[in-house]
Structure formats: C-alpha cells, structure tokens
C-alpha cells in the first residue's frame, strides 16, 4: 500500500489546494499518471503518481487546503492485498499527517539535544504560540523568517512581520499578505488573478530573500563567440520544416546541460548543510509570465535530449507555464536554472540562485561585436554567459572551468 501525499513543489510551499481528482476510486494508475490537480501559490499543477496500483481511498476533497506531506490518497500497489478501509475521519481537517514509525523498543535515551532540527521537509518550523498569533494577526508564517532555535518561527518573528506589514501598509506600499484562513477554502477566491499575482510576488520574495540571506553568491562571466553556432543553426534550420526549427536558446540550454557533466558540483541541491549532487540533469528554464512573475520548470534529463526534442519540450513547458498546467515534477525537480534576458537587450545577467539549487546560468543578447581572430579584427556575434554560484559548494575555479566548458561546447554546435 502506498500513500499519495501532497508534494512540495518549491522550497517555500507549505500547502496546496486540491482542485480536482483526475482519477476515481478503484481506477488503475501507472507511475507517472496524472492523479490530481493542485493549486499552489504559483500555479495550478498536475500531480503525478509515484506508484503503480489501484486507487483504494481518496482522503482529500476538492477545495481543501492541504499541508505538504499530508496523505491525500491511498494506492494499493499491484500484487498486494486490499487493506481494511481507513476510517475516513470527520472534517475538518479530515487528513492524517505522515509520521515516522515509532521504534518498537526505544534505546535508553541520552539527553536529547534541545533543539534538534528534525522538522520534516516542507513542514513549517514554528512554535505553537507563534502559529496561533499568526492566525490571529492574519500573517502567513510561510513568509516569515524564523530566528528561534534551529530557525524556528517565534512569537517575536510573527509580531515583527505584522508590524512591518503595518508600516508598509501605512506607507501605501505593497499589499499585505492574504489573511491566513484555516480549513477548506473555496477555490474561487484562491484562483482570482489579482490575488494569485500578489501571492506569486510573495512567493518569489520569500525565495529570493532567503537566497540572498543564506547563499554566499559569487559571479563570473565570459563572452562567448557564437559565430559557429549561429552559422550552424542557420544551415540546420534550412533543413528542418518550419515547425521544427530551432532557436539559439536551445543550443545554450544543451551546452549548459553537457557542461554540467564536466562540473557536476554545480548540478546539486543544498540540503541540511550539505550539497547533494544530482545524478540527473534537469535544467529549469526561467519563463516570465505575461501577468508578471516568473516560474522555472524543469526540462527533465536535459543532457540526454536531442536538440529537436529539447526545442519541443521547451515550447511545451513555456506554453503550459503560461496556461498554468505544469506538472508537479517539473516544478520540484530542477537542479539548476538557466535564464535568458536577451530579448530585452540585456547583455549580462547577474542572477539570484533559486534555493535549494546551487547555481544559475544567465545569458544576455547575442550581439555583433568586434572580435580579434588571429590578429584580425572581425565582426562576430557574441553572447555573455554569466554564472551565479553558491560559494559554500564551489569555488571560482570550478565556476570558471564550467563557463569555459560551455564556451567549448558552443564552438562545436554539431556535437550538441
């Protein structure tokens, strides 16, 4: 029997609203099937099943706000016995929290460290009193930085946040965060455009503030001769049907993915004071949304895809990001972010890393510049590639190796 839980779709997500079940009781699901649609602060996301089996129980109801980690459904895996039904608990909130199993006979306890940081991922570390005060003051604790033991949010933190909001409000600044409501919330109110936008802004604010607070960034940039790449692209596109033509951005994404194979330290997530390298390379591509804000969904296994495949995947995620139909894994899986601001004429990007990632690569506009080749000044298309990297994980030397690897890869576009 497997539990289908509310996944975390971003480092700052604490809960989601179930929009609808895509499967019914008794339906067979295969790993990867879309099983539910969930509304988060950023977008409506389709959630995939991690298990293959039969839906035995649906514990959450559409419209409910559900904390990350909460069991939403039970999937009986193929080949296992049906289990007695879990008593559907009375609402609200009709959900069980996932908890680690108790050891049968605990060893004699050494005095526990007083503030062991053993909070489950995705669960907010907040004192009971602070949670209560937050609810009274209408402060959303997900956006409050904790200063208590192990980073726990305390009464003072909530009070400070409420005061700061009051000041902003008086100064006629930003809208305050939406009042924290408890229990099931009708989706209609959560889905309204203005509200969604304000919440997206707050989500970005929280992630970026955390990044700049916690991550010691270093920045490197290099200018890359794009002459060969642009020439190759032009010739390649002539061979392709119009619908399959490639954009140069796809070359950049692929080059980043392949360069990560050479410098895998940058393809990592920072978890509990250590960087964990990811065996797979999932490049997140920053997509700006028309109504404001941005989202960076993953193109899975970027390094293994052909350029054509990458192009169609890229177009697909951009389209779905803007339509609000991204999949959960696309939001939670990126191992690095690539952002390109060339369309706006930007030459160099100084990016802010999206935690828990440890690096971000930025590309500017491809521009014609005087370039010296074998003593001759010639006009060449060039692009500035920049790296923002977490100095806890890598040093400038490795960052430089990475940028020059991108450069080398772009000199042989046919191999990409």
Partner 1 sequence: MGKITYREAVRAGLREALQSNPRVFLMGEDVGKYGGTYACSKGFLDEFGPERIRDTPLSESTFVGAGIGAALGGMRPIVEVMTVNFSLLALDQIVNNAATIRHMSGGQFSIPLVVRMATGAGRQVAAQHSHSLEGWYAHIPGITVLAPATVTDARGMLLAALQEPDPVFIFEHAYLYPLEGELDESALPVDLTQAAVRRAGTNISLITFGGSLWKALEAADQLFHEGISAEVVDLRILRPLDISTVLASVRKTHRAVVIDEGWRTGSFAAEVSAQIMEVAFYDLDGPVARICSVEVPIPYPKHLEDAALPQPEKIVQAVHSLMGR
Which residues are at the interface with partner 1 (CB under 8 A)?
108-109, 111, 114-115, 127-132, 147-149, 152, 154-155
Closest CA relative to residue 359, chosen from 220, 193, 246: 220
Closest CA relative to residue 91, chosen from 38, 177, 18: 18
State whether residue 220 is helix, strand or coil.
strand
Shortest distance (Å) from residue 128 CB to partner 1:
5
Which residues contact residue 298 at a Cβ distance below 8 angstroms, ignoring those fewer than 6 apart? 282, 283, 284, 329, 330, 331, 333, 334, 335
155 in Cβ contact with 126 (< 8 Å): no
Shortest distance (Å) from residue 155 CB to partner 1:
5
Shortest distance (Å) from residue 111 CB to partner 1:
6
Helices within 171-226 (DSSP H only): 187-191, 193-214
Q: How far apart are CA 199 and CA 40, in angstroms?
A: 9
Shortest distance (Å) from residue 125 CB to partner 1:
11
Task: Compare residues 118 and 276 and give the one whose CB is closer to partner 1.
Answer: 118
Residues 73, 74, 78, 83, CA torsion sign: negative
Shortest distance (Å) from residue 108 CB to partner 1:
8
Shortest distance (Å) from residue 162 CB to partner 1:
15
Task: Compare residues 147 and 315 and give the one whose CB is closer to partner 1.
Answer: 147
Task: Compare residues 111 and 375 and give the one whose CB is closer to partner 1.
Answer: 111
Task: Compare residues 128 and 172 and give the one whose CB is closer to partner 1.
Answer: 128
221 in Cβ contact with 386 (< 8 Å): yes
Task: Compare residues 159 and 277 and give the one whose CB is closer to partner 1.
Answer: 159
Q: How far apart are CA 186 and CA 211, in angstroms?
A: 32
Task: Compare residues 153 and 259 and give the one whose CB is closer to partner 1.
Answer: 153
Task: Compare residues 152 and 341 and give the one whose CB is closer to partner 1.
Answer: 152
Which residues contact residue 148 at a Cβ distance below 8 angstroms, ignoring those fewer than 6 apart? 127, 154, 157
Q: How far apart are CA 103 and CA 107, in angstroms?
A: 9
59 in Cβ contact with 96 (< 8 Å): yes
């Amino acid at each position: 029997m497997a539990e289908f839980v509310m996944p975390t779709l971003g480092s700052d997500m604490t809960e989601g609203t179930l929009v609808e079940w895509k499967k019914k009781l008794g339906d067979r699901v295969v790993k990867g099937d879309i099983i539910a649609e969930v509304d988060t602060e950023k977008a409506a996301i389709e959630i995939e099943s991690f298990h293959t089996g039969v839906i035995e129980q649906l514990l959450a109801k559409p419209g409910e706000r559900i904390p990350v980690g909460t069991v939403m459904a039970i999937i009986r895996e193929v080949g296992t016995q049906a289990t007695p039904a879990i008593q559907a608990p009375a609402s609200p909130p009709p959900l069980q929290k996932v908890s680690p199993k108790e050891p049968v006979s605990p060893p004699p306890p050494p005095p526990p460290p007083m503030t062991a940081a053993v909070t489950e991922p995705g669960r907010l570390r907040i004192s009971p009193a602070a949670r209560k005060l937050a609810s009274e003051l209408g402060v959303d604790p997900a956006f409050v930085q904790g200063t208590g033991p192990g980073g726990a949010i305390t009464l003072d933190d909530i009070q400070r946040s409420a005061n700061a909001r009051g000041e902003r409000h008086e100064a006629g600044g930003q809208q305050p965060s939406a009042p924290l409501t408890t229990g099931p919330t009708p989706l209609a109110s959560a889905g309204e455009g203005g509200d969604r936008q304000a919440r997206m802004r707050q989500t970005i604010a929280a992630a970026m503030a955390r990044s700049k607070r916690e991550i010691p960034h270093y920045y490197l940039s290099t200018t890359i001769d794009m002459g060969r790449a642009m020439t190759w692209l032009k010739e390649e596109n002539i061979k392709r049907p119009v619908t399959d033509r490639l954009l140069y951005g796809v070359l950049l994404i692929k080059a980043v993915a392949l360069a990560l194979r050479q410098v895998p330290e940058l393809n990592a997530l920072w978890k509990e004071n250590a960087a964990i390298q990811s065996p797979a390379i999932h490049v997140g591509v920053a997509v700006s949304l028309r109504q404001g804000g941005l989202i960076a969904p993953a193109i899975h296994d970027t390094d293994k895809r052909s350029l054509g495949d990458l192009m169609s995947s890229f177009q697909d995620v951009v389209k779905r990001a803007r339509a609000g139909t991204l999949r959960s894994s696309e939001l939670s899986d990126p191992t690095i972010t690539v952002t390109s601001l060339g369309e706006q004429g930007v030459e160099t990007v100084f990016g802010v890393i999206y935690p828990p990632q440890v690096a971000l690569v930025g590309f500017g506009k491809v521009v014609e510049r005087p370039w010296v080749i074998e003593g001759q000044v010639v006009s060449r298309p060039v692009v500035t590639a920049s790296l923002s990297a977490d100095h806890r994980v890598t040093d400038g030397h490795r960052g430089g190796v990475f940028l020059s690897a991108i450069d080398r890869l772009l000199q042989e576009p046919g191999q990409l």
